[in-house]
Amino acid sequence: MFGYLQVQKSELLVREWEAYQSVYCGLCRQMGRDYSFLARLSLSYDCTFYAMLLMSLRRSCEGFDNGRCTFNPLKKCRFARCADSAYSKAAAFSVISAFYKLQDDLSDSGFFKRLLVRLVKPFFSRWHKKAARNYPELETLAAQMMQAQRQTEQDSACGIDAAAHPTGDMLGSVLRLEAQDDMQKRVFYEFGYQIGRWIYLMDAADDLDDDKKRGGFNPFAHYTGDDLRAYQTATLNQSLARAADAYQLITIIDFKGILDNMLRFGFPAKQNSVVFGKQEEEHDESI
């Protein structure tokens, strides 16, 4: 995953910000316990969002512990306690998606990056096996997604909807696992689908320049209109709007302020920085 699912810190209450950090630290600690010290490096904001959503839906946060950060023992931090498997599941998801991301990088990146990937991949393979054993349903969905993605990318002009479909479908199906009844299944799927679609398109918008240089697949490469950024913004906005519509239909009690913040401020802010950030750099250069 890619780390686009962030909070807008300036709009959070201090206690919400602390709770957010403590979920991040709690998940990090869990990755150390379940996999290894190094596996923690694959932790992303996206998986923190997933963990937080799981904990909120299951109401599994029991309180907070004080402790110290493993990477920096001088730093005190708090850990959110979790009564069930929400952390383990998110940790497994993080490892599984990191593994597939590495595999993907092997096929389409430069020489030095490939070398680096070759070095770390054996570790990830081992953790990946363990995660797949513990959560086979996550593994199946991720593997299906990779296959569908490869097939879709055969046709370089398949359009952005088709290109984003595997990721959307995967995240939708992952969240659908949490649903209690048919109605929830549809709501969770739609929410996950739109968030997944958004993540995929954000990544595509982010990588467009690189992909153009190296001739890699990118769904935005075929855009022929005259305002690419407006087009990207419109289609990304729409995914967020639809995700927000679905989100409103989910009963959120714990961490509501934080999750609301992400949907309303965090994601749009990240989107603007990805879509318009590069433009500003270009703008600066031209001055």
Partner 1 sequence: MTNPYEVLGVSPDASDEEIKKAYRELAKKYHPDNYANSPLADVAEQKMKEVNEAYDEINRMRQKGKGTGSTAGNTGGYSSNGSTSQFYSVRIYIQRNMIQEAEQILDSTPEGSRTAEWHYLKGMCAFRKGWSDQANMYFNTACNMDPNNTEYRAALNNMNGQRTYNYGGYNTSQRGNVGSTGCTCCDICAAYMCADCLCSCCRTGC
Nearest-approach distance from CB 253 to partner 1, in angstroms: 9
Nearest alpha-carbon partner for 194 in 218, 223, 161, 220 = 161
- Please state, in angstroms and rounded to a whole number, the distance separating the CA atoms of residues 2 and 214: 20
**Can you name the residues that pair with 25 across neighbouring β-strands?**
none
- Under the criterion CB under 8 A, does residue 197 sit at the interface with partner 1? yes
- Under the criterion CB under 8 A, does residue 187 sit at the interface with partner 1? yes
Question: Is residue 68 within a helix (H) or strand (E), and if so which, with residue range?
Answer: strand 61-68
| Positions 62 through 121 that interact with partner 1 (CB under 8 A) | none
- Under the criterion CB under 8 A, does residue 216 sit at the interface with partner 1? no
- Under the criterion CB under 8 A, does residue 11 sit at the interface with partner 1? yes
Which one among 155, 209, 210, 245 touches partner 1, defined by CB under 8 A? Answer: 245
Cα–Cα separations (whole angstroms), residue 280 to 44, 84, 150, 275? 26, 45, 33, 10
Interface map 145-164 toward partner 1 (x if CB under 8 A)? --------------xxxx--
**Does residue 134 sit in helix, strand or coil?**
helix
Nearest-approach distance from CB 240 to partner 1, in angstroms: 6
Tokens of 263: 């949907």
173 contact partners, CB below 8 Å, separation of at least 6: 141, 189, 192
Tokens of 176: 């659908």
| Positions 28 through 57 that interact with partner 1 (CB under 8 A) | none
Nearest-approach distance from CB 282 to partner 1, in angstroms: 9
Nearest-approach distance from CB 80 to partner 1, in angstroms: 23
- Please state, in angstroms and rounded to a whole number, the distance separating the CA atoms of residues 272 and 51: 25
- Under the criterion CB under 8 A, does residue 246 sit at the interface with partner 1? yes
In contact, 195 and 5? CB cutoff 8 Å: yes
Nearest-approach distance from CB 70 to partner 1, in angstroms: 34
Which one among 78, 81, 130, 186 touches partner 1, defined by CB under 8 A? Answer: 186
Instruction: Tell me the angle at which helices 45-58 and 14-34 cross, rounded to the nearest 10 degrees.
Output: 100
Name the site residues for partner 1 (rule: CB under 8 A). Answer: 8, 10-11, 159-162, 165, 168, 183, 186-187, 190, 193-194, 197, 227, 229-230, 233-235, 237-242, 244-246, 248-249, 264-265, 268-269, 271-273, 276-277, 279-280, 283
